[in-house]
Amino acid sequence: MKRNIIATLFCLIFELCLAQPFGVLKHFSHDVKLSQSHILDIQQDSKGFIWMGTYNGLIRFDGTVFQNFDVVQRGKLNLSSNRVSSFKFDKNGRIWIKSEKQEVYYFDTQTLSFHYPLESQNNEFSNLSFNQFKLMPSGVVWLFPVNKNYLIVLDANKEVRQIVFDQAKLRGHKIKDVFEDSTGDTWFLTDLGICRLKKGDEKPEYFFFNMTRLSGKSYSFSAVVEINDELWFAGANGKLTRYSKKASTFFDVQLAINSDIVQIKYVNGGKVLIVTNTEGICYYDIKSGKLDVYNSKTIAGFPNGTINYMGLTHSRYFWFETSASGIYRFDLTTKKLKQLQVDTSDPTVIVDRKTFLLTAPNGSVWIQPKGGALGYWDKKQDKLLSISHYTKESSVEVSDVMHTATFDKLGNLWFCSYRKGLDLMIFNNNNFSVLNLDSFEGKKKNNVRSLMEDKRGNLWLACRSQKITILDSRKKKIGMLGADGTFLTNSPGWGADIYHMLEDNKGRIWVGTRGNGLFCLIPNGKPFNYKVVHYKHNELNRYSISANDIYRIFQAASGKIYLATWGGGVNLIRESKDGIRFVNYRNEWKNYPIKSADRVRSIVENREHQLFFISSYKLFSFPDENRASGKLKFKEFSQVSGNDILDILVTSKNKLALATNGKGLQLAYLNKNGKLDIQSFGEETVALPVDEVVAMEEDKLGKIWLMGDNQIVRFDTKKSTAETFPELKSLIGNEIFSEATKCRLANGEIVLGYSDGAIYFNPEKIKAYQFKPYLAITGFSVNNKELHEVNTDTPRNPDLLKKVVLEHDQNFLRLQFAALDYIKNENIVYRYKLEGVDKQWNYIKGGQTINYTNLSRGKYKLLISSTNAHNLWVDNQREIEITILHNLWVDNQREIEITILPSIWWTNLAIIFYLLLAIGLFMLIRRTLSTIIRLRNDVQIQQEVSELKLKFFTDISHEIRTPLTMITAPLEKMLSDNQVPDSVKTQLQGIEKNSNRLLNLVNQILDLRRIQNRKLEVKAINLGEFASKVCENFREISLQSKIRLEVKIIASTPIVWADADSLDKILINLISNAFKYCHKGDTIEIIIEETEKQVLLKVSDNGPGINPVIQKRLFIRFSNYNENPNNPSTGIGLSIVKDLADKHSASIVVDSVAGKGSSFQLCFLKGYHHFNEDVTILFEESDESLVDDIIKIENEPVVAVELKC
């Protein structure tokens, strides 16, 4: 019973491990400097380098650079063939190779050169030729000389020993195999018996050499395995012998088979697998001594003849091949046999295909059988599926028939197909899963733009199909919801893309669209059946939605529901017995900053019930309080600006997280003063790999998941680490994530929408990528030469460098390095620092070269470290001590004493003079600085006083304006009443005249404040027509006062680029001043002239003129030069003109002679290129329509009051 439970658990784990893979393919060819496209063998060494055997030597790959090691150029070997078909690594940094001509040699990774096995030995072994080698677990290498009765052993310490065998015992037979057990003893298998060489001995022992079988033949052994404290030897005619190391005793195991045993393997659970030459396989139970034989007599369909052992996987599946095509799999547990074929996609007929079996680190099985292609064993389907099923690459680019293939430490598959070149397949690690909506909607692409989980755990997805897909908690489809609130196939769509969905605390579903307003789905009592109410913007209804583009729907803790609209700002849904009203800037929110907060993307709420919303590149807040709408205050945070804010959330630490376009992630929190403290995380600060964050979500552990265009980053706010997931590309390819489309489910899973569906994952199950890539030093050059060329004492392999000593003139250094992580090595970030030169770390991404030039003499220490492919920093720091020697001259020094008398310039008197001069200069500089500081303070005080004046007048004006308006309204009614006596009307007319005059003064002060805060909107205006229209408003005043008003347009088309409202105020102020100081019979002229670069506006009169003393302070704010008490002035009219002219880069010239009149001339520059970036330039409308708009504005009651002077 216990065994069955264990077996069941094992099978379950195996099922989970063998999830169907899907990979992203990288292809390397001549385009990336791979000199040999035909690769015969691929292996990874202990450091992580990828080595390839080719037709002409070896190639080493570090993820970026292919380094070629040609047999001829890298050694003095005279080989019959330079082809490296296969190779093996020993523990001493050597790569052992056996050529096709049976020649043995090795490549030394320290000297980067090829050698004969014993060429460095100055003895009788230096000229030996070897045809075989054997590597032992301890690092010992056994060499088999040609036609000799001895073997050569290279110990781990590189000592050479000769082991001579007794020819009387061997009788001309050779050593077939060498085996090293766990105690260090070495065993030799022969056709006549077994030899043993104890650790440290020089002479072997012999067993079974004087014994014969019943047939008269000697005991021949061909296989051995170590099981616990025993050695099992197998050989001809079913011979199986066990040796107990404790008892030092051999004893035979009777198998009752006569076939030769060619393979013996230990299987977990106390079983031994025995592979025979002609009688199939045997399964031997060590404890019970039971032997099960599986062949054509016991298993139906089992092939006859010789079988070729391919491998044993998962202690259960025995794989073998015969002369037939395909491969056989025998299940040692269920006793079932199956022949498998690979459905190759490459029709190329290749007779001699290499057969091999690979087991990936995750346990998956890959096989290339005889006559087939490389295939993955899909256990669910029990099929071998070609590798072409797991990549999107065309078979034209990559064949599924391989010359060779291997898995690296991380489970990446490296191979060379018959299309040649090197290929790397990186598999998805099953952290992320895809909701494939194609099967739901039958469309090629499904751009998911909105996600929501309802209270029943169902997942709602809105695609651009204009219907809502609803899935249950197991991600199974329930149905497609239409705009009529049903699942009917003919139900209508929603009329536009759905951008957000929300289920409120009453169970209603709110659906916001881009372009078709808002929908409210009210449950009808039946599952997924709703009454649908549609709300849209109505220009005639102030309480309708302010815009039809709904980006976000948010319900605050108070239960209020807010809408974020694009173009209409924030809306509050107010419910009453009469229905739903939308409160916004068009009705009750008079303080809402619609000009800067019209395009709202999202709304959130912090723990203090402060609401925050983002609009383009700005952040705003307002309290969720039950105060009067007109008193609601909106606050803008100027600290956040400059880049679009695409998403916002409140973290578990009550901080604001802002996803920006260009500045990565920003964390903000309100300090005690109510201001935002900003902390930015971008590529420059924490090597954040995404600067454009389109969406984000926080998991239950407080980590923030950021979505870039087509990648995901897990950001740890405590450690400031940003982990990427390159394997995501195997799922979504080049698709991109949708803006702010995310949803955290109740079970902790996060769902993200992208341009072709949605992915989901459980953040708590995704462990940090712990792989620590080896940081290899791949190049070190000095003065543009390799280090070993200028300093022969250093190793040829720069990766072995620890200390470097250079001459004084060898101070131009170049270093190359590589972190051996191949998943996405272009994203690896490196940091380096040369102690003695650099005070801080230097960071580079993707680059693998650093340079230091013109280093001074001294000692330095170079430090280098890197991230892994997931952007996590690892402890792989390399250190190299660098010493640059001083320039030592030969000992031929001569000494001459020279005395130079001091000159007059350095006598004691001269020094005293210098001190006095320095003190004088110090006092002068000090006085100058104090004067500058005093003047600057005076200017600052004047500015503050002016601002206080303006603020005081503005506040007073606001308070006076309302009662003035209340006075003038009944006055007009009383003056129009015929029952009021004429004598009273005369007095009332005086009151009205002075009230209007005071109201005009108040409006001027308010105009000044608005001018300071208002941004210019510049467009092309015909100044002549514009001035004529303005003058029409003064015709009645002209007739009443009998002052002549003339407009002279000397230019043909006097076009200026100006702000219409500002130009209107300039003309009104100048003309009003002229009327104010002219008398009956005087003339006011408005003259429009034009030069090559300017358009001139001149307002002239023949009034009393202006005193020259007064002219100097004409444009100073609050300066009143009017001495007539019956004609009061605020002193800001001309100040407004000067401010507006400066904003237009226009100049003002005043020409006045006492008693003859005054002339004010404004010079406007032609064109609009002189305006700065703070000015909005409008091109859409024509000049004529601009003037018409100004006239319309002037005719509105409120504006008309404000323009009076």
Could you tell me the sign of the dihedral formed by the alpha carbons of 1197, 1201, 1203, 1204, in that order? Answer: positive
Band (pLDDT 50/70/90 cuts) for residue 967 is confident
Tracing tokens 């005889």 back to the chain, one arrives at 370
**Proportion of the chain in helix, strand, coil states, percent, rounded to 5:** 20, 35, 45
Contact of 775 with 877, CB cutoff 8 Å: yes
pLDDT at 149: 84
pLDDT at 1185: 41
Band (pLDDT 50/70/90 cuts) for residue 751 is very high
According to DSSP, the β-strands at 803-806 and 878-884 are parallel
803 has pLDDT over 90: yes
The DSSP code for 1005 is H
- At 708, the amino acid letter reads G
CATH 2.130.10.10 fits 33-164, yes or no: yes
946 has pLDDT over 70: no
471 has pLDDT over 70: yes
Could you tell me the sign of the dihedral formed by the alpha carbons of 120, 122, 127, 130, in that order? Answer: negative
The DSSP code for 184 is S
User: Where in 1023-1082 does DSSP place strands (E)?
Assistant: 1044-1049, 1055-1059
CA distance linking residue 362 with residue 376, whole number of Å: 13
440 has pLDDT over 80: no
Q: What is the CATH number of domain 775-884?
A: 2.60.40.10
Average pLDDT over residues 139-143: 93
pLDDT digits 0-9 by tens, 202-234: 999 999 987 876 666 788 999 999 999 999 999
Residue, of 148 and 285, whose pLDDT is higher: 285
Band (pLDDT 50/70/90 cuts) for residue 1114 is confident
Query: pLDDT > 90: what percent of the chain?
Result: 44
Residue, of 1121 and 1142, whose pLDDT is higher: 1142
403 has pLDDT over 60: yes
Phi, psi of 498 (to 5 degrees): -85, 125
Mean pLDDT score of the chain, rounded to an integer? 84
pLDDT at 959: 60
pLDDT digits 0-9 by tens, 4-57: 433 433 343 334 344 456 678 888 876 557 878 889 999 999 999 999 999 888
CA distance linking residue 926 with residue 134, whole number of Å: 88
C-beta neighbour count of 900 within 10 angstroms: 5
Would you call 581 helix, strand, or coil by DSSP? Answer: strand
- Tell me the C-alpha to C-alpha distance, in Å, between residue 213 and each of 74, 239, 277: 52, 10, 19
Question: Superfamily assignment of 1014-1202 in CATH?
Answer: Histidine kinase-like ATPase, C-terminal domain (3.30.565.10)
Q: Classify each residue of 717-754 as buried b or exposed e, where b means 16 or more C-beta atoms within 10 Å of its C-beta.
A: beeebbbbbbbbbbbbeebbbbbbbbbbeeeebbbbbb
Would you call 55 helix, strand, or coil by DSSP? Answer: coil
Q: What angle do CA 783, 789, 791 make, to 5 degrees?
A: 85
- At 978, the amino acid letter reads N
Average pLDDT over residues 589-606: 94
Phi, psi of 974 (to 5 degrees): -70, -35
Q: What is the CATH number of domain 638-765?
A: 2.130.10.10
pLDDT at 496: 92
- At 463, the amino acid letter reads C
Phi, psi of 383 (to 5 degrees): -135, 155
**Encoded tokens for 118:** 């014993």
User: Which of 262, 291, 267, 290 minimizes the C-alpha distance to 278?
Assistant: 262
Tracing tokens 């939308």 back to the chain, one arrives at 582
Band (pLDDT 50/70/90 cuts) for residue 1002 is low
Average pLDDT over residues 1043-1061: 88
Band (pLDDT 50/70/90 cuts) for residue 293 is very high
Task: Find the range with the poorest average confidence among 306-310, 316-320, 467-471, 637-641.
Answer: 637-641
CA distance linking residue 697 with residue 704, whole number of Å: 6
Q: What angle do CA 209, 213, 215 make, to 5 degrees?
A: 130
Task: Find the range with the poorest average confidence among 1-5, 53-57, 507-511, 727-731.
Answer: 1-5
Strand partners, 832: 842, 864
pLDDT digits 0-9 by tens, 409-421: 989 999 998 878 8
Task: Find the range with the poorest average confidence among 411-420, 878-887, 1008-1017.
Answer: 1008-1017
pLDDT at 171: 87
pLDDT digits 0-9 by tens, 543-572: 999 999 999 999 999 999 999 999 999 999
Band (pLDDT 50/70/90 cuts) for residue 1201 is very low
Q: Give the dihedral of Cα atoms 766, 771, 772, 774; nearest 10 deg.
A: -150
Q: Matching CATH topology for 33-164 and 775-884? A: no
639 has pLDDT over 80: no
Counting every residue written for the chain, the total comes to 1205
- Tell me the C-alpha to C-alpha distance, in Å, between residue 144 and each of 153, 167, 201: 9, 15, 19
Q: Which fold has domain 433-535?
A: Thrombin, subunit H (2.40.10)
pLDDT at 1142: 87
Residue, of 851 and 1033, whose pLDDT is higher: 851
Q: What is the CATH number of domain 899-1013?
A: 1.10.287
- Distance between terminal CA atoms of the chain? 104
Contact of 463 with 65, CB cutoff 8 Å: no
Band (pLDDT 50/70/90 cuts) for residue 1012 is low
Band (pLDDT 50/70/90 cuts) for residue 365 is very high
pLDDT digits 0-9 by tens, 34-44: 878 889 999 99
Highest mean pLDDT among 607-621, 661-675, 717-731: 607-621
Band (pLDDT 50/70/90 cuts) for residue 1182 is very low
Domain boundaries, the chain: 33-164, 433-535, 538-637, 638-765, 775-884, 899-1013, 1014-1202
pLDDT at 776: 95
Q: Give the dihedral of Cα atoms 482, 488, 491, 496; nearest 10 deg.
A: 20
pLDDT at 1188: 42
Band (pLDDT 50/70/90 cuts) for residue 749 is very high
Q: Long-range contact list for 132-135, CB < 8 A, 24+ apart?
A: 132/98, 132/102, 132/104, 133/96, 133/98, 133/104, 134/177, 134/178, 135/88, 135/90, 135/96
Average pLDDT over residues 1125-1151: 77
For residue 112, the Cα-to-chain-centroid distance in whole angstroms is 38
CA distance linking residue 629 with residue 626, whole number of Å: 8
Phi, psi of 739 (to 5 degrees): -65, 125
pLDDT at 1181: 43
Q: Which fold has domain 538-637?
A: N-terminal domain of TfIIb (2.20.25)
1202 has pLDDT over 70: no
pLDDT at 840: 92
Band (pLDDT 50/70/90 cuts) for residue 73 is low
pLDDT digits 0-9 by tens, 568-596: 999 999 999 889 999 999 999 999 999 99
- At 790, the amino acid letter reads V
1117 has pLDDT over 70: no
